[in-house]
Structure 1
Amino acid sequence: MKGSITKNKKTGKWDIAIDIGNDPSTGKRKQKRKRGFSTKKEAEIALTRLNGDLIEGTYIDPSKKKLNEFMEEWFETRRMQVSRRTLINQLSLFNHHIKPHIGFSRLNEINPSVIQKLITTLVKNANLQPSSISKIIAILKVALEKAVKLQLIKVNPVTNVDLPRENKTEMIVWDKSQVDTFLSNSKKFRHYTACLIAVYTGMRKGEILGLRWKDLDLEKKVIYIRQTLESDGKAFKAGAKNTSSVRTIHISNQLISQLKVHRKKLTEERLKNGTPYNDLDLVICTKYGNPIDPPTLSRRFKEQAKVIGLPVIRFHDLRHTHATLLIEQNVNVKIISERLGHSSIQMTLDRYSHVLPSMQQDVAKQLDNLFKSL
């Protein structure tokens, strides 16, 4: 067995030392030392483990790099992998909720206990929802997984921690009569077409605000999701939220008719405004052709719902309303999942499970009708 075991004359404890190879930067021999074992037996066990790791090639020299330093490098790489807005959000979460607590810790000092303590601190002091804490810890998990791959640490300390339980909030949607009320009383509303697209397609707000006329084929009656407007309204992202979100949605004749009316109105606005018009080919835009600020659309939609006297819901809830109404009409869940751009049918079922009890009752009635002779 390589290495040595010696008794420290000053402390009376046992120390071990073993060669771990050469330093690639200097070419000099590197030696790993561990001190303070109470018995020689403990020192022998530790040396045996070190030898085993060296032989198997699984030994990782404890990194002296601090989490802050590593995360700075990681975010630079992250810049090439995620959208600008996602990067900004993740940086903000790290700077506000991770860095102040464990940012100056060395990577090799961060263990599951440290992460669990961070979670407890966030629950008690940060006044955050469980879903927000999950997002924060998810950033750390992905980053430290990269540290494992770079052989800066041996295992990911975030793997074995307990997150606070997320309380599912009740989904609020409009029923068919409420949708009819909104649409029949909102035809003069500036953002009527955006709302109609949401109700008829279930598209996300960013997808609607990023939709271009060239992404529409009114002859074939389809919309192609190819671009989204980021949540701060400052940039467009090619593609969609994820791979499954890049999709084709078939649309109804009613929506096609409104889109034609809407395009005529935009043409008139463009001619009226002349030179200042910023032609981005957007279906939903300001009178000068610019992207509509997403929070502004949400705020105006809520104001309109309040004026009409309907329950005030979020603009995003029109997407949920679309899905719920289709499920109630017994549309195949696979088709609904594809329209929404979900990664799986299970995701659709989990999200809209609130509709299933009434559907179960319908099934029971249908069975009664099917077996009337019994």
Structure 2
Amino acid sequence: MKQGHVRKRGKTWYYQFRLPEKGPDGKPDFDTKGGFATEKEAWAACRDAIKAVEQNRRVKSSKITVRAFFVEEWLPAIKMLVDATTYDNWQAFIHAYVVPRLGDGELQKLTAPMLVKFYTQLLTDGRIKPDNNIRMYEYWAKAAKRGQQPTPREITDACGVTIHAARAAVRRYRAGRIPTPKPAGLEPKTVRNIHLAIHRALVDAVTWKYLVDNPADNAKPPRVAKSRRPVWTPEQATRFMDSICFDRFYALFRLELTTGLRRAEICGIRWPSLDLDAGTLSVHQGRVVVSGRAQDAQVKTEDSERLIALDEETVGALRVWQAIQDAERALYGDDFRDTDLVFTYEDGRPVHPDSIRERFKRLAAQAGLPEIRFYDLRHTYVTGALRAGINPKVVSQRIGHADVAFTMSVYQHVLPGQDEDAAARAAAYMLGRRRTQETASNP
């Protein structure tokens, strides 16, 4: 490869050098770029371009826009590479936030400062989804002033929300929980998730030779304050289970509180994965929600695939549930939808994960318990297991975390006193004998 040369064309300078490979027609190929104000700038750019070729980091000049790359090339390419929920979230972020604000710009002109400015704008005025909670409350409050009690169905029709959302809203308003308007900007966590999608896309842009470097590497997303999700105490968990002893999905909630399964995992369990004689459950598939529809899917990661033991009472609850389902199968006959799923409705239809979430909210409210998410039952299990003295490594394996270090980084706060205990044990081991001698010599 030759060193290259620079020439003046009109009022600006350009560089040119021969590439090591030949062009499509078999003739020598050249890298040329112009528009430099001075000869010095052209030479500097030429040296950088030659170095990029030598390091196999050269990219061809392209006018492709951010919109075209993300929507027409990247999203179709990764659809089969990531799980359905991740893809659904990423494509929603791209269409809702990235394309409207950055889509018309050229991909190769995207810079870290531009991304930082974009994140700042999202934090300030990025919210595009309507504040349905406020809309529902205003409708409910107006009706209440007239002495009426609107039904969830009426709220659904008036506000364009799901029946699940309307039912949950009515429970909140009747309990005196009045919503406050959401800010115009997005939450830092949402902006951070958008950044993760952009970063992954630009990693591929570098790999596909659209970009030399990833501008998202130097565009730091907003910090997300760590928060501790509320969990139930053992007494509250027991109170909940006692209050739902006759609920159809008693066994599901008991299994959740004794294993900490993810919602997708517990809704996707099939009978062949359960060995009630051995008291074990094999976790390897789930049931996720994509664009509002439930569908079967593999578990999140390889670490999520695991075999876990079940306690005797949970096994007993599952045996009772199995007998109920067998009786329903016999009753419905050919109309029973036999899917092998453990948790179903009377006719064998699979449970929808969102329906289980809303059912939990309703049952917890009826029991007079503090409001937590269904996912917080997982946190409740982990918290209880660690406080019961179970080895953190065992807990980490049971809930499907990649390693115990991650588990402890999330749940270290639930083990108060460990640092004090470590200090006392270390001091006693290192200096205990000396302290005894000093005490004896100084009575």
Contact 1:277 1:289 survives alignment (8 Å): yes
**What is the aligned counterpart of 2:295 among 207, 230, 235?**
235
- 1:11-22 matched pairs, under 5 angstroms: 11=11, 13-20=12-19
Matched, 1:7 2:8: yes
**Which residue identity lines up with residue 342 of structure 1 in the other structure?**
H
Matched, 1:117 2:176: no
What's the TM-score, normalizing by structure 1?
0.91
SS at match of 2:294: coil
Separation in 1, partners of 2:212, 2:427: 61
Q: Which runs of 5+ in 1 are unaligned?
A: none
Contact 1:233 1:291 survives alignment (8 Å): no
Contact 1:3 1:19 survives alignment (8 Å): yes
Matched, 1:333 2:392: yes
Q: How far off its partner does 1:113 sit?
A: 1.7
Contact 1:173 1:318 survives alignment (8 Å): yes
Contact 1:212 1:282 survives alignment (8 Å): yes
- 1:36-47 matched pairs, under 5 angstroms: 36-47=35-46
Q: How far off its partner does 1:366 sit?
A: 9.1
SS at match of 2:217: coil
Contact 2:83 2:300 survives alignment (8 Å): no
SS at match of 1:194: helix
Separation in 2, partners of 1:117, 1:23: 41
Separation in 2, partners of 1:288, 1:369: 64
- Alignment partner, residue 224 of structure 1: 282
SS at match of 1:267: helix
- Alignment partner, residue 160 of structure 1: 218
**Which residue identity lines up with residue 164 of structure 1 in the other structure?**
P
SS at match of 2:372: coil
- Alignment partner, residue 173 of structure 2: none
Q: How far off its partner does 1:198 sit?
A: 0.5
Separation in 2, partners of 1:203, 1:279: 23
- Alignment partner, residue 132 of structure 2: none
Separation in 2, partners of 1:22, 1:297: 60
- Alignment partner, residue 275 of structure 1: 334
- 1:279-318 matched pairs, under 5 angstroms: 279-318=338-377
- Alignment partner, residue 176 of structure 2: none
Separation in 1, partners of 2:22, 2:210: 15
Q: How far off its partner does 1:49 sit?
A: 2.7
Q: Could you give the per-residue CA deviations for residues 344-369 of structure 1, whole angstroms, max 9, x where no partner exists? A: 11111111122122555677899999
Q: Could you give the per-residue CA deviations for residues 153-191 of structure 1, whole angstroms, max 9, x where no partner exists? A: 111111111111102222111111111111112111222
**Which residue identity lines up with residue 58 of structure 1 in the other structure?**
R
SS at match of 1:235: strand
Q: How far off its partner does 1:105 sit?
A: 2.1
Matched, 1:254 2:253: no
- Alignment partner, residue 194 of structure 1: 252
SS at match of 1:292: coil
SS at match of 1:274: helix
- 1:48-197 matched pairs, under 5 angstroms: 48-71=47-70, 72-126=72-126, 127-197=185-255
Q: Could you give the per-residue CA deviations for residues 315-345 of structure 1, whole angstroms, max 9, x where no partner exists? A: 1111111110111111100000000100111
Contact 1:22 1:28 survives alignment (8 Å): no
Contact 1:20 1:30 survives alignment (8 Å): yes
Q: Could you give the per-residue CA deviations for residues 129-169 of structure 1, whole angstroms, max 9, x where no partner exists? A: 22211111111111111111121211111111111110222
Return closer, same or farther for 1:363/1:175 CA change in 2, 3 Å cut-off: farther
Separation in 2, partners of 1:35, 1:57: 22
Return closer, same or farther for 1:49/1:364 CA change in 2, 3 Å cut-off: closer
**Which residue identity lines up with residue 54 of structure 1 in the other structure?**
V
Contact 2:294 2:353 survives alignment (8 Å): no
SS at match of 2:382: helix
Moved more, 349-358 or 194-203: 349-358
Contact 1:328 1:359 survives alignment (8 Å): no
Moved more, 331-340 or 134-143: 134-143
Matched, 1:342 2:343: no
- Alignment partner, residue 34 of structure 1: 33
What's the TM-score, normalizing by structure 2?
0.77
- Alignment partner, residue 204 of structure 1: 262
Separation in 1, partners of 2:6, 2:425: 80
**What is the aligned counterpart of 1:213 among 271, 294, 297?**
271
Return closer, same or farther for 1:355/1:60 CA change in 2, 3 Å cut-off: same
Return closer, same or farther for 1:219/1:39 CA change in 2, 3 Å cut-off: same
Return closer, same or farther for 1:46/1:82 CA change in 2, 3 Å cut-off: closer
Matched pairs, number: 370
**What is the aligned counterpart of 1:319 among 367, 378, 382?**
378
Q: Which runs of 5+ in 2 are unaligned?
A: 127-184, 437-443
Return closer, same or farther for 1:369/1:319 CA change in 2, 3 Å cut-off: farther
**Which residue identity lines up with residue 201 of structure 1 in the other structure?**
T
| RMSD over equivalenced CA pairs, Å | 2.6
**Which residue identity lines up with residue 41 of structure 2 in the other structure?**
E
Separation in 2, partners of 1:362, 1:49: 58
**Which residue identity lines up with residue 222 of structure 2 in the other structure?**
P
Percent of aligned positions that are identical: 29
Return closer, same or farther for 1:115/1:334 CA change in 2, 3 Å cut-off: same
**Which residue identity lines up with residue 283 of structure 2 in the other structure?**
I
Separation in 2, partners of 1:178, 1:364: 33
